[in-house]
């Protein structure tokens, strides 16, 4: 039977629309994904030799201050009381992040009060005067001063971007958080946690509806499939969450992304680093950070005999890589405007999600955007 709506992409954006359309409107939905699993980039799987849950496309921590999103996600999963914290290894010494009074006092071998630490940072940040920062380095110095910038931002940023921060535009950063207290909670959000029985169980419950059919290993641009761009656009309404430039055959040029490479290793020890995430601030270490996945679930009884660590490397993406972070250069922004015009004119197709709108979205933002699109555009369209 013909579906009422086709959704391209079984990530959080696509799954949220699918669940709402099936449950709220009672319509038939087919969700396709070119990957062999649902959940998009938030997908996780159990490492088979250790039983430890690993996030395949980079660590995913759920956090939000939006009560509607929190209420919505709690329909499908309970969350643990996990609170995210990050540390940085700089020249063999471990510091808490984001930069806080503990970081400042350890770094300067001092015992500053909140007031005197603030005065110190303001004084160091004034080094370049009042002129407009010409690049990322100058911007960062104007926010936190040179010593903290050089230790915790410069080389880490250079590794992320494969570019000297003096050659990166100042606009890449608008703020660098410095806390003048000892709070090293990474997120400021009201709600935070990890799905108690894993991300996959959460996503399976979202898709578990008699009116939702999921077809995996199905690429929207593969015209040999029964559901493809050529066969459905103009006939059946579509929600498209794949890359925006790909939809229009890169006609306006490619939108640039950064990608990540992950090196996963199982070590025959219980605990490698004592914490979920360790950033590596030095230029001499090629990876940006190491995740140790057992620490995301201290409430679980994992094996004492092994642990899973993942080293993360950052680089510019080619067309065949997974797109992770939009680069958003002035050229990209110009192209994006042209693609947006094309998207607006594409009848019967809604573009959404991080790839379909070319923007970085946290999970709660993707879900929030999908709920808004459902309420404001998709439901009114079907209700007539
Ligand atoms: P998502 O990319 O998840 O889904 C899109 C789906 O479309 C994919 O499954 C893809 O295979 C499919 N698709 C694409 N083209 C297709 C085609 N032609 N045919 C069929 N299917 C196609 N957020 C957060 O809240 N906390 C965190 O800690 C993190 N951590 C994090 C780390 C890293 C490294 C990244 C890159 C991102 C995060 N995020 C995050 C963000 C999170 O990943 C993001 O919010 C969601 O993936 C957004 O869901 P979408 O559905 O928009 O995209």
Can you give the pLDDT of all 384 residues of the chain as single tens digits? 799 999 999 999 999 999 999 999 999 999 999 999 999 999 999 999 999 999 999 999 999 999 999 999 999 999 999 999 999 999 999 999 999 999 999 999 999 999 999 999 999 999 988 889 999 999 999 999 999 999 999 999 999 998 899 999 898 888 898 999 999 999 999 999 999 999 999 999 999 999 999 999 999 999 999 999 999 999 999 999 999 999 999 999 999 999 999 999 999 999 999 999 999 999 999 999 999 999 999 999 999 999 999 999 999 999 899 999 999 888 999 999 999 999 999 999 999 999 999 999 999 999 999 999 999 999 999 998
Closest C-alpha residue for ligand 1 atom 7 = 9
Q: Which atom of ligand 1 is nearest to the CA of 35?
A: 11
The CB of 354 under 6 Å from ligand 1? The reply is yes
- Reported as type and span, the H/E element at residue 260 is strand 257-267
Paired strand residues for 309: 265, 292
Work out whether strand 289-292 and strand 307-316 pair parallel, antiparallel, or are unpaired: antiparallel
Paired strand residues for 308: 266
**Active-site annotation holds for 175:** yes
The CB of 8 under 6 Å from ligand 1? The reply is yes
CA–CA distances in Å: residue 324 to residues 157, 314, 319, 345: 16, 10, 12, 27
- Reported as type and span, the H/E element at residue 371 is helix 363-373
- For domain 5-46+63-79+196-256+327-383, the question of CATH label 3.40.50.720 is answered with yes
Give the CA angle between residues 377, 14, 351 to the nearest 5°.
50
- Name the active-site residue from 185, 258, 300, 315: 258
**What is the predicted pLDDT for the residue at 328?**
87
**What is the predicted pLDDT for the residue at 171?**
87
Q: Which atom of ligand 1 is nearest to the CA of 218?
A: 20
The answer for residues whose C-beta is within 8 angstroms of residue 336's C-beta and 6 or more apart is 244, 255, 358
For a mutational test of ligand 1's pocket, the pick from 6, 41, 310, i.e. the residue with the most ligand atoms closer than 8 A to its C-beta, is 41
CB neighbours of residue 102 within 10 Å: 16
Q: Percent helix, strand, coil in the chain (nearest 5)?
A: 35, 20, 45
Q: What distance in angstroms lies between residue 268's CA and the mean position of ligand 1's atoms?
A: 32
ipTM: 0.99
CA–chain centroid gap for 370, Å, is 16
The answer for residues whose C-beta is within 8 angstroms of residue 99's C-beta and 6 or more apart is 144, 148, 152, 176, 177, 178, 179
Topology of the domain comprising 99-172? protoporphyrinogen ix oxidase, domain 3 (1.10.3110)
8 A C-beta contact, residue 219 and residue 331:
no
CA distance 47 to 138: 43
**What is the predicted pLDDT for the residue at 360?**
94
CA distance 14 to 354: 11
CB neighbours of residue 305 within 10 Å: 11
Q: Is the peptide bond before 184 cis (omega within 30 degrees of 0)?
A: no
- Name the active-site residue from 154, 179, 246, 294: 179
- Specify the domain boundaries for CATH 1.10.3110 within the chain: 99-172
pTM: 0.96
The answer for residues whose C-beta is within 8 angstroms of residue 181's C-beta and 6 or more apart is 100, 101, 114
- Specify the domain boundaries for CATH 3.40.50.720 within the chain: 5-46+63-79+196-256+327-383
């Amino acid at each position: 039977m013909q579906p009422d709506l086709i959704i391209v992409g079984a990530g959080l954006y696509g799954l949220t629309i699918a669940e709402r359309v099936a449950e709220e409107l009672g319509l038939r939905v087919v969700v396709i994904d070119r990957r062999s699993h649902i959940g998009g980039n938030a997908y996780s799987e159990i490492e088979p030799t250790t039983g430890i849950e690993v996030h395949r496309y980079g660590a995913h921590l759920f956090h939000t201050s939006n009560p509607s999103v929190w209420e919505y996600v709690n329909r499908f999963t309970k969350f643990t009381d996990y609170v995210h914290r990050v540390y940085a290894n700089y020249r063999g010494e471990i510091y808490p992040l984001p930069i806080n009074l503990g970081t400042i006092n350890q770094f300067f071998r001092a015992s500053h009060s909140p007031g005197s630490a603030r005065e110190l940072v303001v004084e160091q940040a004034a080094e370049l005067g009042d002129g407009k920062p010409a690049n990322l380095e100058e911007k960062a110095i104007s926010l936190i001063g040179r010593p903290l910038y050089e230790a915790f931002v410069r080389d880490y940023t250079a590794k992320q971007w494969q570019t000297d921060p003096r050659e990166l535009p100042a606009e890449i950063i608008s703020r660098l958080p410095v806390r003048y207290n000892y709070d090293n909670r990474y997120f400021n959000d009201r709600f935070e946690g990890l799905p108690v029985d894993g991300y996959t169980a959460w996503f399976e419950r979202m898709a578990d509806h008699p009116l939702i059919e999921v077809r995996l290993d199905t690429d929207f641009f593969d015209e040999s499939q029964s559901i493809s761009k050529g066969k459905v656009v103009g006939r059946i309404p579509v929600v498209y969450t794949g890359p925006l430039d790909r939809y229009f055959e890169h006609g306006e040029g490619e939108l640039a992304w950064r990608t990540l490479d992950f090196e996963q290793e199982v070590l025959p020890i219980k605990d490698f680093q004592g914490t979920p995430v360790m950033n590596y601030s030095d230029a001499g270490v090629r990876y940006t950070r190491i995740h140790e996945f057992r620490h995301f679930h201290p409430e679980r009884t994992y094996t004492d005999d092994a642990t899973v660590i993942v080293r993360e490397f950052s680089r510019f993406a080619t067309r065949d890589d997974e797109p992770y972070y939009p680069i958003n250069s002035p050229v990209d922004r110009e192209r994006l405007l042209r693609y947006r015009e094309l998207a607006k004119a594409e009848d019967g197709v809604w573009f959404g999600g991080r790839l379909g709108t070319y923007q970085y979205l946290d999970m709660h933002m993707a879900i929030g955007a999908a709920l808004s699109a459902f309420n404001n555009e998709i439901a009114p369209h079907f209700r007539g």
